[in-house]
Structure 1
Amino acid sequence: MLVKREELVTRFFKYAQVPSQSKPNGGLVVPSTESQWAMIRLLQEECETLGLVDLHVSDKAVLTGRLPAHVPDDFSGRVPAVGFCAHVDTVDVSLSPEVHPQVIHAYDGGDIVLNEAANIVMKRDEHPELAPYEGQDIIVSDGTSVLGADNKSAIANIMTALHTLVEDSSLYHGDIYVAFVPDEECGLFGSKSMDYTKFPVDFAYTIDSCELGEVVYETFNAGSGTVTIHGVSAHPMSAKGVLVNPTLVAVDFINMFNREETPECTEGKEGYIWCQGVQSNQSTAIVFLNIRDHDKLKYEAKKDLIEANVKQLQALYPRATITCELSDTYGNIADAITEDNKKAIDYVYEAMDRLGITPKTIAMRGGTDGSFISTQGILTPNYFTGALNFHSKYEFLPIDSFYKSYEMTLTLIRLIYEKALVR
């Protein structure tokens, strides 16, 4: 246990210190940053060393590979092929791309000085989520960046698990596929660009949730909308009856929506339409919308509402030219559940039971790579990394929880093999 715990932490430090922020660009270039290639090349080398086969790196920096099945000579069944997916990018939240992780040994329950020189302190009274981890070793950043446990803790988890399976011949398993992808944080563009013939699994898992015990198999259905308004420009001296101000038209459009159905007014499984931004000048305004709902029918109804409001706006301003573009970003993992594949979720709860972990099932108000992968016919639920405060300089990773996440991965692999024995 101690050796693997140390390997897990060592790998995390190694990966966290490789800068790999992604940059939102609408998927025009994948990966969105050259730095993500460094992580992919590092992982490619490590996978080669571990003996993975069918390794492939795409021109979009997607790395896939397979650890061949290892079963007894007299085994006559079929073990389902399982996949594990993690993203190599860290989020860009206007903090440094350089991550400097550090370990707080036996956290004493008080404030944590992340960076004495810069006077960056994680105050205990502002972060009650620290309380359960008193006495434990915790990994934190130096306060100038996110920690990067989202999602490099998952990468360390997967790579340590693969190493464990390779070095211990008593651990039997079926084919294990891995996919390391870029640009999850800015639109799941890595998983969207995957060649799924190179990921031929029965089901898969992402390890991209937070605290110990979290399980996610429900996510938003997600889409985006862009409404472009071309007005009529005119000089103020002759504007009466001529000028159609696209900025004011955009304001009228935004006000057509229910203010109670926005992110700041909703929770749980309540969906929303979010006006994320407006770009405008004298001739053109562009309104950017995010559309979210766990319920597929309600999600589609929100898209219909946007189109209906655009038609109403056009009727109000017939001399303007108004267009609307809607696109789907990802789906609800739950919509991919069938009688044949729901065992992938059952295994998560059985693994937690074996490990003495209390499940915390969450309907995520967001998505993971698994939200898109599931739309490709591969059910891909998500479980915890152990980290808290993703996308924040106050992100932290309790090592005990981190180790439990690694144990989850190994236990799932063993469960899948054991279930094949009794069929």
Structure 2
Amino acid sequence: MSLAQKLQEKFFRYVAITSQSDASQDTVPSTTGQLELAKVLQKDLTKLGLIDLEISEYGVLTGKLPANLPSDYHKVPTVGWVAHLDTVDVCLSPNIKPQIIKNYQGGDICLNAEKNIYLTTAQHPEIEKYIGDDILVSDGTSVLGADNKAAISNVVVALETLWENPQILHGDIYVAFVPDEEIGLKGSKKLDFSKFPVDFAYTIDSCELGEVIYQTFNAGSAKVHIKGVTAHPMSAKGVLVNPVLVATDLINSFDRMQTPEHTEKTEGYIWINGIDANVLEATVSMNIRDHNKTLYEARKQQIRDAVEFLKLRHPKAEITLTMSDTYANIENAVTDDNKQCIDYIYQAMADLDIKPQTIAMRGGTDGSFISSQGILTPNYFTGAHNFHSNCEFLPMKSFVKSCEMTLKLIELITK
């Protein structure tokens, strides 16, 4: 089979396993489908010569493809690839039914005739860049799942290629397939790094052909809990402390122009993304984001200051703040000693005639956490478009290029 045929076969097989994560669950993995997928991958990778394949109690699958280098070969870096097992929950069906549009000739694509769902060129003009290509799409009732099963397929097919072509030299290669990336990088935070002893790693978790990401947000969250004082309205004067209004005062203390809908590129924000309130208490939830570490810390301090002022303004209310870091900017971990792994990406793209598109991601990847643990983990493209949408699509030529990137990186690292 050709590389394209192998990728399509693997992709259809893996997306058939429902593995949408569930943010309402406290367990890792949050859904049984992710564990099922890990078990399927464990069997697949065993056939490809990987050893030490283990699934942890958290559903993290790790394994190693041993080097096949001659005894007198020079020292080669140990490299890893990370991909996440879950697909995102964006209130669409968790069951993915992929289809392939052969030799796309332009115009709107009917994803689902029965439900009258279309991928239109009016909303997604980028689709017409791929006239003449075969394009993977969903049936319109779910995401496609290229995020991140395109990456899983990519890594497995690359390892299969090495297994089928033992003359291709390579050093030790480790893999880690982790759950619950879409709900806070929970799986990568459960990774046992003694089972992933690499010099650096890669994720394949961005979109269009050529995308390179080694800049992500520094990310955190905050919750402010407000306990008011209840009283009957007939005797409320000087007694009642309305937690809903206290929460409103807190929210109004932040700049409305420093929110997701008013920022772009590397601009950060504080996002009020939840309010739970009644006559007795209220909780305000916030996300904190900034690419710049200093500005990120300043935004955290801004929240602390706002809460302290709120306490002065409402001395009878009980107000508590909890704050935590979620992940860090990959770029924070880049040094002169480890940036070679990023250079390999650009060299691979040059060798494959791919034009790089370096992006500061307004989000994070598993590499955002892993990099903070001392293993620099940049990210490159799957080839797909419109992640987290029922109009997600994956051109096959871009999918193939993504896998060729993986194989080219192995070649460059081994030289």
Which aligned pairs between 1:55-204 and structure 2 lie closer than 5 A? 55-75=53-73, 77-204=74-201
Residue number in structure 2 paired with 1:348 = 345
Q: How far 1:73 sits from its partner (Å)?
A: 4.2
Structure 1 residue 12 corresponds to structure 2 residue 11:
yes
Task: Write the letter of the residue equivalent to 2:161.
Answer: T
Q: Secondary structure at the match of 1:50?
A: coil
Structure 2 runs not aligned, ≥5 long: none
Count residues in correspondence. Answer: 415
For residues 40-78 of structure 1, what are the alpha-carbon distances to aligned partners after superposition, in whole Å with 9 as ceiling and x for unaligned? 111111111212111111111000000001113432x21
For residues 185-238 of structure 1, what are the alpha-carbon distances to aligned partners after superposition, in whole Å with 9 as ceiling and x for unaligned? 010000011111111000000000000000000000000000000111112222
Task: Write the letter of the residue equivalent to 2:391.
Answer: Y
Which aligned pairs between 1:243-392 and structure 2 lie closer than 5 A? 243-392=240-389
* Distance in 2 between residues matched to 1:210 and 1:377, nearest whole Å: 25
1:399 corresponds to which of 396, 400, 414: 396
Residue number in structure 1 paired with 2:40 = 42
Task: Write the letter of the residue equivalent to 1:371.
Answer: S
Alignment root-mean-square deviation, CA? 0.9
Q: How far 1:28 sits from its partner (Å)?
A: 2.4
* Distance in 1 between residues matched to 2:230 and 2:45, nearest whole Å: 59
* Distance in 2 between residues matched to 1:110 and 1:143, nearest whole Å: 16
For residues 138-176 of structure 1, what are the alpha-carbon distances to aligned partners after superposition, in whole Å with 9 as ceiling and x for unaligned? 000000000000000000000000010011011100000
Q: How far 1:34 sits from its partner (Å)?
A: 1.6
Q: How far 1:318 sits from its partner (Å)?
A: 0.3
TM-score by length of 2: 0.99
TM-score by length of 1: 0.97
* Distance in 2 between residues matched to 1:356 and 1:70, nearest whole Å: 28
1:410 corresponds to which of 396, 407, 410: 407
Structure 1 runs not aligned, ≥5 long: 419-423
* Distance in 2 between residues matched to 1:4 and 1:81, nearest whole Å: 25
Question: Which runs of at least 4 in structure 1 moved beyond 3 Å after TM superposition?
Answer: none
Q: Secondary structure at the match of 1:18?
A: coil
Q: Secondary structure at the match of 1:124?
A: coil
Residue number in structure 2 paired with 1:223 = 220
Q: Secondary structure at the match of 1:318?
A: coil
For residues 226-261 of structure 1, what are the alpha-carbon distances to aligned partners after superposition, in whole Å with 9 as ceiling and x for unaligned? 000011111222211111010110000000001110
Identity of aligned residues (%): 60
Task: Write the letter of the residue equivalent to 1:120.
Answer: I
Task: Write the letter of the residue equivalent to 2:61.
Answer: L
